[in-house]
């Protein structure tokens, strides 16, 4: 969203804002009337002794009170309403933008800061609009109304009273400048605090395993102290400004009161006019005094709005091309041509990659940890765009295919088997509609059905954050079932069986074998025994394809793949030997 402006945000709830302004205008009118009635009573009714007028005045005052009650109540209901609506609008704009940003953005951003922007910054801006800015308009309306009346009552006094304003202006400018200096570090500390909290809870197991509780707590306290220090500084400056303005206002009012006694004695002013003038003075200075707190809030709110605007106006790097097409089917092949890619534009993670996957063929990406296997999968999903070269589906550049349709075509089982904190059923469906029978069938295929129905709440069991209530293997099988349920054209398994025992591994293997005739398979694996039957294998090393071919071809080459194969076989053989030795009587078994 371009040109996201504060003014536009302010007027987004047009009807409510107009209503608020109307209520403010009525409030000002009512506020003007009361002192004038007092003046009338003191200057006309009391001296004339005309008691017949009293009931009429009382009725008039009562009507004014009723109107004041209704208007004040409505005003107090409308303002929080505007505040909440503004917050909701801001949050919706933010999330609507953030959720579409590319993974590169999320790699760079801290969750704590994003959380703060969505939760705290939107709150600060909405409170400013609902609790400071709108009431300030009301105060401003009162100020104008009072100014007109006091000038009518006594223009000399009124002109003198106005001298208070430049003093206030200087005071508030100073306050504003001081606060402005502290605000950025205050926000920085707050972001760090949120990040620290998020990190503690997401890494609680490691914190406990490494006895880091005290250390993390101390770190939290240190950041928290910085937040308190900055907050206190802002509050102190704010209070100095506010109390100075109030005292100054009172001092001037008192001066006027004394002056007016002299004026009354000299017959230059009536008692009623003096009382009304004094009553108006308070209302004249109120808005100016309130400006002080508005200034502190304004500085905070503007910083919060700046942060929100920065995110809302961001353009996702991965976007649909204006002429992007919907693609629902792979008819020929997926190709990667001369592709190079870097996450941070410093070092290439992938270099000169060329590969081809025919429709319904199965390929494997193997290689050492960090060699770039998952990165290739992410480029096929268009989570990132390559720096050089291209990814083609049936000869069409991936950038010319609508992202939504691309991701419908691909079933992706990621390396970390992420699950949402929802029921198993919701995790499996992942927003799609499937009848229970379909879900059950896929779950049986990946050998998770019996486990799920054995749970107290069956498919309605909530799995906890990131699936914390399940084992690694259980999560992995649910993640596989989730991908298969979409009946994708292409399936990417990224280490899909790494957490499974050998029994489950061979069951999943069977399902994968079944799939190999029905869809295009891209399998990423460390254990070569799990991929030896695929049609073609690419061995990666430091982001480059160093060997490729079928399993037999690669074994025949007696090069890197061959040594890796032998190394793994020796490890397996060693493990087998260890296992059989464990079963031998006399070694570990009690007689």
CA atoms of 82 and 10, how far apart (whole Å): 9
CB of 415 to Mg ion, least distance (A): 5
Structure tokens belonging to residue 288: 């100016």
Task: Specify the residue, 237 or 376, whose C-beta has the smaller distance to Mg ion.
Answer: 376
Q: Which window, 163-171, 298-306, 367-375, 484-492, contacts Mg ion (CB under 5 A)?
A: 367-375
Cα→Cα distances 144→14, 67, 137, Å: 24, 21, 10
Half-sphere exposure of 292 (CA within 13 A, CB side): 27
CB of 451 within 8 A of CB of 401? Answer: no
Q: Which window, 65-73, 141-149, 362-370, 460-468, contacts ligand ATP (CB under 6 A)?
A: 362-370
CB of 519 to Mg ion, least distance (A): 21
State yes or no: residue 374 binds ligand ATP (CB under 6 A). yes
By DSSP bridging, strand 362-367 and strand 536-541 are: parallel
Closest by CA position to 143, among listed 288, 292, 279 = 288
Which option in ligand ATP, Mg ion, none does residue 139 bind, with CB closer than 5 to 8 A by kind? none
State yes or no: residue 107 binds ligand ATP (CB under 6 A). yes
CA atoms of 153 and 334, how far apart (whole Å): 86
State yes or no: residue 344 binds ligand ATP (CB under 6 A). yes
CB of 186 within 8 A of CB of 231? Answer: yes
Which residue is at the shortest CB distance from Mg ion? 374
The residue from 239, 390, 405, 415 that contacts ligand ATP (CB under 6 A) is 415
Q: Which window, 43-51, 73-81, 366-374, 549-557, contacts ligand ATP (CB under 6 A)?
A: 366-374
CB of 138 within 8 A of CB of 31? Answer: no
Q: Which window, 321-329, 372-380, 445-453, 512-520, contacts Mg ion (CB under 5 A)?
A: 372-380
Token pair 């059950």 is found at 440
State yes or no: residue 331 binds ligand ATP (CB under 6 A). no
* Helices (H), ranges, 313-340: none
State CA 297 to chain mean position distance: 22
Structure tokens belonging to residue 25: 């205008």
Which option in ligand ATP, Mg ion, none does residue 506 bind, with CB closer than 5 to 8 A by kind? none
State CA 127 to chain mean position distance: 18
State yes or no: residue 370 binds ligand ATP (CB under 6 A). yes
Q: Which helix (H) or strand (E) holds 388?
A: strand 388-393
Q: Which window, 307-315, 364-372, 435-443, 554-562, contacts ligand ATP (CB under 6 A)?
A: 364-372
Task: Specify the residue, 138 or 374, whose C-beta has the smaller distance to Mg ion.
Answer: 374
CB of 107 within 8 A of CB of 33? Answer: no
The residue from 126, 194, 371, 530 that contacts ligand ATP (CB under 6 A) is 371
Tell me the number of residues near ligand ATP by CB under 6 A. 13
CA atoms of 188 and 541, how far apart (whole Å): 40
> Under DSSP, is residue 136 helix (H, G, I), strand (E, B) or coil?
helix
Q: Packing angle between helix 164-202 and helix 213-265, nearest 10 degrees?
A: 160
Which option in Mg ion, ligand ATP, none does residue 509 bind, with CB closer than 5 to 8 A by kind? none
Which option in Mg ion, ligand ATP, none does residue 371 bind, with CB closer than 5 to 8 A by kind? ligand ATP
CA atoms of 105 and 92, how far apart (whole Å): 19
DSSP structure class, residue 43: I
Task: Specify the residue, 34 or 415, whose C-beta has the smaller distance to Mg ion.
Answer: 415
The residue from 374, 509, 511, 516 that contacts Mg ion (CB under 5 A) is 374
CB of 543 to ligand ATP, least distance (A): 7
CB of 552 to ligand ATP, least distance (A): 24
The residue from 83, 373, 477, 551 that contacts ligand ATP (CB under 6 A) is 373
The residue from 35, 130, 287, 372 that contacts ligand ATP (CB under 6 A) is 372
Positions touching ligand ATP (CB under 6 A) are 107, 343-344, 349, 367, 369-375, 415
Positions touching Mg ion (CB under 5 A) are 374, 415
């Amino acid at each position: 969203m371009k040109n996201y402006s504060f003014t536009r945000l302010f007027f987004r709830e047009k009807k409510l804002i107009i209503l608020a302004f109307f209520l403010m205008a009525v409030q000002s009118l009512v506020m003007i009337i009361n002192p004038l009635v007092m003046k009338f009573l003191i200057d006309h009714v009391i001296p004339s002794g005309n008691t017949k007028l009293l009931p009429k005045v009382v009725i008039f005052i009562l009507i004014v009170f009723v109107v004041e009650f209704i208007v004040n109540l409505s005003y107090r209901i409308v303002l929080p309403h505007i505040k909440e609506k503004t917050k909701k609008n801001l949050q919706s704009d933010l999330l609507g933008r953030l959720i579409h940003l590319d993974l590169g953005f999320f790699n760079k951003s801290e969750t704590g800061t994003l959380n703060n922007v969505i939760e705290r910054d939107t709150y600060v801006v909405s409170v400013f609009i609902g609790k400071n800015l709108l009431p300030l308009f009301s105060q401003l309306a009162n100020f104008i109304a009072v100014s007109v009346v006091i000038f009518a009552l006594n223009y000399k006094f009124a002109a003198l009273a106005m001298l208070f304003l430049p003093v206030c202006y200087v005071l508030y400018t100073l306050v504003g400048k001081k606060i402005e200096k502290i605000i950025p570090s205050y926000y920085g500390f707050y972001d760090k605090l949120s990040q620290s909290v998020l990190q503690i809870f997401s890494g609680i197991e490691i914190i406990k395993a490494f006895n880091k509780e005290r250390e993390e707590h101390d770190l939290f306290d240190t950041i928290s102290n910085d937040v308190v220090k900055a907050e206190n500084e802002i509050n102190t400056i704010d209070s100095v400004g506010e109390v100075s303005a109030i005292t100054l206002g009172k001092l001037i009012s008192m001066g006027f009161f004394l002056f007016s006694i002299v004026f009354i004695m000299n017959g230059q002013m009536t008692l009623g006019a003096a009382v009304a003038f004094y009553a108006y003075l308070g209302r004249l200075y109120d808005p100016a005094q309130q400006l002080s707190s508005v200034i502190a809030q304004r500085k905070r709110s503007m910083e919060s709005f700046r942060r929100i605007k920065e995110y809302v106006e961001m353009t996702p790097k991965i976007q649909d091309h204006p002429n992007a097409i919907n693609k629902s089917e792979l008819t020929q092949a997926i190709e990667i041509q001369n592709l190079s890619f870097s996450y941070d534009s410093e070092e290439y993670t992938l270099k000169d990659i060329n590969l081809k996957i025919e429709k319904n063929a199965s390929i494997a990406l193997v290689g050492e940890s960090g060699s770039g296997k998952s990165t290739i999968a992410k480029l096929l999903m268009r989570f990132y765009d390559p720096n050089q070269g291209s990814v083609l589906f049936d000869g069409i550049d991936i950038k010319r295919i609508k992202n939504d349709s691309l991701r419908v075509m691909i079933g992706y089982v990621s390396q970390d088997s992420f699950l949402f904190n929802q029921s198993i059923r919701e995790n499996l469906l992942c927003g799609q509609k499937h009848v229970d029978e379909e879900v059950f069938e896929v779950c049986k295929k990946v050998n998770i059905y019996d486990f799920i129905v054995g749970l107290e709440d069956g498919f309605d069991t909530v799995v906890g954050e990131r699936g914390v209530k399940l084992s690694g293997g259980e999560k992995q099988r649910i993640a596989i079932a989730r991908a298969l349920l979409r009946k994708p054209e292409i399936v990417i398994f990224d280490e899909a069986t790494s957490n499974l025992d050998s029994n489950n591994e061979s069951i999943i293997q069977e399902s994968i074998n079944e799939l190999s005739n029905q869809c295009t398979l891209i399998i990423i694996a460390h254990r070569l025994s799990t991929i030896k039957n695929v049609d073609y294998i690419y061995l990666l090393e430091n982001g480059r394809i160093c060997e490729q071919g079928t399993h037999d071809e690669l074994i025949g080459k007696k090069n890197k793949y061959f040594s890796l194969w032998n190394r793994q076989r020796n490890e397996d053989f060693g493990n087998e030997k260890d296992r059989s030795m464990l079963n031998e009587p006399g070694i570990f078994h009690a007689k």
